[in-house]
């Protein structure tokens, strides 16, 4: 049930879900990209991907939960919190990597591989995240109205398809095109593989999403519909 603007709702678990979202987001961006994995899938064959792709979609699961239960405006605040967390983590990593190592510390090279990244990749990642998360939240909010709150799986998976498509389409060309890290002619293949993995993770987590969404709706006495919402990403009003 929607609340009038002057009645600020207090929620029991909103901050907890926000914390989980930001934690998964920062970990998947800080830890995952350091390793390139390769697996042989039955239908797709050999697939090479950044290991973070397995966990980054979980942030979309939390984004779906936030929008479905608390509405777009409150999800928007969490997306901005995640953006701020990514910015600080990137800044901290750059500063720590740049600090001169002690003469007896022999792990600078490994540390740079794990946590060092060019600003082009960092900025591309943050921009793609920003656009993809807002597209995901917007599509889910609109689909919830169109479906009258039915068929949750259609909007969790549907919104993820749009959000992850935007994320992948922005990140890889902005980060790697012409950089010589990934051959330009291989970028579409890498983008498609990453997209399919991320959407696949969302599909696998759909039963968990149902359980968490239903539990939160009961606990919070909230099931928000964004009928009169300002969908601008550049405001924090709820």
Does residue 25 lie in a domain region? yes
Under 8 Å between Cβ of 132 and 163: yes
The parent domain of residue 142 ranges over 14-101+110-220
Say if 49 falls within a structural domain: yes
Q: Is residue 227 part of a domain?
A: no
47 within domain boundaries: yes
Residue-level pLDDT at 6 = 38
**Per-residue model confidence as pLDDT tens digits over 148-197:** 999 999 999 999 999 999 999 999 899 889 988 778 898 898 888 889 88
Residue pair 136/198 in contact by the 8 Å Cβ criterion: no
Angstrom distance (rounded) from CA 194 to CA 96: 29
Residue 73 lies in a domain: yes
**What's the number of domains the chain is made of?**
1
* Residue 121 counted as domain residue: yes
In a domain, 127, yes or no: yes
Give the CATH number of the domain where residue 169 resides. Answer: 1.10.1760
> Which residues, at least 6 apart from 130, have a Cβ–Cβ distance to it below 8 Å?
79, 83, 233
Instruction: Look at residue 20 and tell me if it is in a domain.
Output: yes
Contact present, 223 and 1 (Cβ < 8 Å): yes
Q: pLDDT per residue over 29-69, tens digit each?
A: 888 766 777 888 787 788 777 777 788 889 999 999 999 99
DSSP secondary structure string for all residues of the chain:
----TTS----SSHHHHHHHHHHHHHHHHHTGGG-EEEEEETTTEEEEEEGGGGTHHHHHHHHHHHHHHH-HHHHHHHHHHHHHHHHHHHHHHHHHHHSPPPTT---HHHHHHHH---HHHHHHHHHHHHHHHHHHHHHHHHHHHHTTT--HHHHHHHHHHHHHHHHHHHHHHHHHTTTSSS-GGGHHHHHHHHHHHHHHHHHHTHHHHHHHHHHHHHHHT-----SS----SS----
| Mean pLDDT of the 132-148 span | 98
pTM for the full model?
A: 0.90
């Amino acid at each position: 049930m929607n609340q009038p603007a002057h009645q600020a709702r207090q929620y029991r678990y909103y901050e907890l879900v926000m914390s989980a979202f930001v934690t998964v987001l920062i970990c998947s961006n800080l830890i995952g990209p350091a390793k390139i994995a390769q697996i042989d899938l039955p239908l797709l064959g050999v697939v090479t991907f950044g290991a973070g792709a397995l966990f980054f979609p979980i942030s979309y699961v939390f984004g779906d939960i936030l929008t479905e239960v608390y509405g777009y405006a409150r999800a928007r605040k969490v997306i901005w919190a995640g953006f701020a967390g990514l910015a600080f983590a990137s800044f901290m990593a750059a500063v720590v990597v740049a600090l001169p190592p002690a003469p007896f510390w022999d792990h600078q090279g490994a540390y740079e591989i794990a946590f060092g990244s060019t600003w082009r990749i960092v900025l591309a990642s943050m921009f793609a995240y920003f656009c993809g998360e807002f597209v995901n939240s917007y599509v889910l909010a609109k689909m919830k109205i169109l479906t009258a709150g039915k068929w949750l799986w259609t909007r969790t998976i549907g919104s993820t398809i749009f959000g992850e498509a935007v994320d992948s389409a922005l990140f890889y060309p902005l980060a790697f095109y012409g950089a010589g890290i990934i051959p330009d002619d291989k970028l579409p293949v890498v983008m498609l593989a990453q997209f399919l993995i991320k959407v696949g993770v969302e599909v696998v987590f759909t039963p968990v999403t149902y359980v968490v969404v239903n539990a939160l709706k009961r606990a919070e006495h909230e099931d928000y519909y964004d009928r009169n919402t300002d969908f601008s990403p550049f405001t924090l009003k709820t």
